[in-house]
Every structure is written in structure tokens, then in C-alpha cells.
């Protein structure tokens, strides 16, 4: 059987050795988007941080393409992460923001900028390569953040309420666009949100955080 792109097994999350949730089991396949729904402060961001390697789980396993990455460092996980705010580098232009991670992984400047240009065309931002990031609208900035996360071709992409800072109309429009792009990219994606409408718009499956495991 081909392994799922992301497999969480009996995961326990918590702080300072004390769990607030355990027994989290979840599989997300390539090109699938799963939305995790829950109120603010319920632990959604902590779940994504554990997958990405920012914080360690207290117990359980995280597998990507069948490989156990539970204790692997961030740079060895093949996971992209997008936050509520785009967090673009203000001193770099749009193309250099997208190419940044590729350059750190050893790609030549030419190859990294070519990949950035390809992604900008795909995201409907062709010609924005030399644009300053402070000249972008909120929706454009989040597209650039998406391009930067997808540039290294991650197996898994974690989206932490990426549209929450946008107005309602733009949030709905971008949710539809990004959902289609993620499916086309082939990445396994987890999108966390407190908004049921956004969750249904983006995802193939919507799961309440409380249904993933046992809250303590």
C-alpha cells in the first residue's frame, strides 16, 4: 500500500511536559486538503507547529511519505508553513522573497529566480518579480507567501488561518483560488481555521479539532 503523504499516529500535544490533547490520528494524502476547525486557543496552531517541527510532540509519531520525522529538525521534514500574516522580508523584492529558501538550500540564484518566476505566473502575479513587498495588497502578499512555501516543492503544507487578516470578500475569493492551486500542486495540505464557511470552501474534508483526539 502506498503510504499517505502525512500520517499522524497517537500524537500528544502539550507544554512543559503536560499534555492538553492526546491520541491524535490523521492521514492526509497527496493533493488532499483537510481543514481542522476549532476556536481560537484550542491548539490548532500547536498541531501545525508539531508537524512542521517548531515544537516537539509529547508522544506519538509523525510520518511523511512513510518516513518517521517525529524528531527530525525543521529543515529535514519537507514541510511548508504559511501563517496568518504573510511575514515577507521587507528588504527583499517579491522574487527574492520566493527564492530565499531555495538559495539557502543551495540552489543557484538563476535557478531559484526562475522557480520564483514560474510560481508568480501560476499564481497570476506575472511581472511582479521586482515589486517591493510593501506595494502589495493583502491578497497579493498572501499569494507571494504561498509561492515562497511551495517553492521547495514540499510534501506537506500547513496553513495557519492564512486569510484571517483579509476582508470577507477577499477572504472568500482567495480561499477558492488557493484551494484549486493546492490540489494542482499535489501537496498534502492541512488548513486550520475557526471559520466553518472558510473550512468548507477550502477543504476536501473538515474535521473538528476535538474529534481528532482526546482533550485533557
Looking at every residue in the chain, the average pLDDT score rounds to: 92
Q: Decide which of 1.10.760.10, 3.30.70.3450, 3.30.565.10, 3.40.50.300 is the CATH code for 6-215.
A: 3.40.50.300
Among residues 194, 127, 129, 119, the alpha carbon closest in space to that of 154 is found at 119
pLDDT band at 1 (very low <50, low <70, confident <90, very high): very low
Helix (H) / strand (E) containing 94: helix 94-104
Report pLDDT digits (tens) over 120-173. Answer: 999 889 999 999 999 999 999 999 999 999 999 999 999 999 888 888 888 888
Q: Return the axis-axis angle of helices 138-150 and 168-185, rounded to nearest 10°.
A: 20
Cell of 20: 492538553
Domain boundaries, the chain: 6-215
CA separation, residue 200 to residues 77, 113, 179, 206, 207 (Å) = 28, 35, 10, 7, 10
pTM: 0.90
pLDDT of residue 15: 86
Angle at CA of residue 25, ends 158 and 76, nearest 5°: 45
Mean pLDDT of 44-58: 95
pLDDT of residue 2: 55
Amino acid at each position: 500500500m502506498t503510504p499517505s503523504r502525512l500520517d499522524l499516529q497517537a500524537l500528544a500535544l502539550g507544554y512543559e511536559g503536560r499534555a492538553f490533547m492526546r491520541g491524535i490520528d490523521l492521514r492526509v494524502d497527496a493533493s488532499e486538503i483537510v481543514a481542522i476547525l476549532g476556536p481560537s486557543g484550542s491548539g490548532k496552531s500547536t498541531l501545525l507547529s508539531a508537524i512542521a517541527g517548531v515544537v516537539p510532540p509529547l508522544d506519538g509519531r509523525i510520518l511523511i511519505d512513510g518516513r518517521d520525522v517525529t524528531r527530525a529538525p525543521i529543515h529535514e521534514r519537507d514541510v511548508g508553513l504559511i501563517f496568518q500574516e504573510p511575514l515577507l522580508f521587507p528588504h527583499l523584492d517579491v522574487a527574492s522573497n520566493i527564492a530565499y529558501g531555495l538559495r539557502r538550500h543551495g540552489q543557484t540564484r538563476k535557478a531559484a529566480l526562475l522557480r520564483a518566476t514560474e510560481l508568480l505566473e501560476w499564481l497570476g502575479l506575472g511581472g511582479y518579480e521586482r515589486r517591493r513587498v510593501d506595494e502589495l495588497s493583502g491578497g497579493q502578499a498572501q499569494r507571494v507567501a504561498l509561492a515562497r512555501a511551495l517553492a521547495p516543492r514540499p510534501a506537506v503544507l500547513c496553513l495557519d488561518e492564512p486569510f484571517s487578516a483579509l476582508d470577507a470578500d477577499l477572504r472568500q475569493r482567495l480561499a477558492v483560488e488557493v484551494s484549486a492551486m493546492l490540489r494542482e500542486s499535489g501537496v498534502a495540505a492541512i488548513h486550520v481555521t475557526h471559520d466553518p464557511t472558510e473550512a468548507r470552501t477550502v477543504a476536501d474534508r473538515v474535521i473538528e479539532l476535538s474529534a481528532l483526539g482526546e482533550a485533557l
